[in-house]
Amino acid sequence: MQQSAVPELARTDTRPIHWVATATAVAGVIALSSLVQPGPATAAQPTATEARPAPTATTPPGTDGVAFPLDCGPVEAVVAHQAHGDLDGDGRPETVAAVHCDAPMGTPPDALYVLTRDATTGKPRVVATLVRPADRITVTDLGLSARTVTATLLGYSTDDIPSCCPDVRKPASWRWNGHAFLRSTPADTRGV
């Protein structure tokens, strides 16, 4: 008779004492692992200037951390669309951002803001409001080309129209004239 490489197990049935022993062993490992902690990290941490390169004159301002003049109450402001380009011809790009409150339902109105970098701090800041939240408009198809901001504005013909269902669609554009952004709306404005 030939012996097998793996001996047969004498017993294969388990009793409650086996489960108690296993549970005790697992509890011991968990308790021991909570007492043993790794030492402090010794790797060199990058300084703030190494971690994030300083913005340059050709970097468009970002929207993170910007305090938009939008009262959202307990919810946060959300940037729905953004476009970048040089709007005033100074060689430094601006950012145009469509922002609304992160409402749990309905269609919150957008505000449309122009951001630039602060000359002394380099931080992004709002310099113009093209669409106010009080206008009850949703901004779509946001673009920036040839120093002109373009967008499609969805709105309402009357205050009786539910906010879920805008019934007016208007293309619009804004251009900087050296003092302010001037809005123009093509003549073919139509309802949805």
Asked whether the predicted pLDDT for residue 42 surpasses 60, the reply is no
Q: What is the dihedral of CA 18, 23, 26, 31, to 10 degrees?
A: -140
Q: What percent of the chain is helix, strand and coil (3-state, nearest 5)?
A: 15, 35, 55
- Arithmetic mean of pLDDT, 6-22: 59
| Residue 67 to residue 11: CA distance in whole angstroms | 71
Model pLDDT for residues 74-109, shown as the tens digit of each residue: 899 999 999 999 999 888 999 999 999 998 877 788
Query: Is 124 a member of any domain?
Result: yes
Query: Is 186 a member of any domain?
Result: yes
Asked whether the predicted pLDDT for residue 26 surpasses 50, the reply is yes
Residue 186 confidence class, pLDDT cut points 50, 70, 90: low
Evaluate whether 170 touches 153 at the Cβ level (below 8 Å): yes
Asked whether the predicted pLDDT for residue 175 surpasses 50, the reply is yes
The pLDDT value recorded for residue 191 is 43
Model pLDDT for residues 146-170, shown as the tens digit of each residue: 899 999 999 999 989 888 889 999 9
Residue type, 112: L
Query: Is 149 a member of any domain?
Result: yes
Whole domain around residue 138: which residue ranges? 77-191
The pLDDT value recorded for residue 4 is 46
**Which one has a higher pLDDT value, 187 or 9?**
187
**Which one has a higher pLDDT value, 145 or 14?**
145
Asked whether the predicted pLDDT for residue 11 surpasses 70, the reply is no
Query: Is 53 a member of any domain?
Result: no
| pTM of the entire predicted model | 0.67
- Arithmetic mean of pLDDT, 16-36: 65
**What's the number of domains the chain is made of?**
1
Average pLDDT, the chain: 79
Query: Is 120 a member of any domain?
Result: yes
The pLDDT value recorded for residue 105 is 78
Which ranges of 140-184 would DSSP assign to H, the alpha helix?
Answer: none
Query: Is 127 a member of any domain?
Result: yes
The pLDDT value recorded for residue 30 is 67
Query: Is 41 a member of any domain?
Result: no
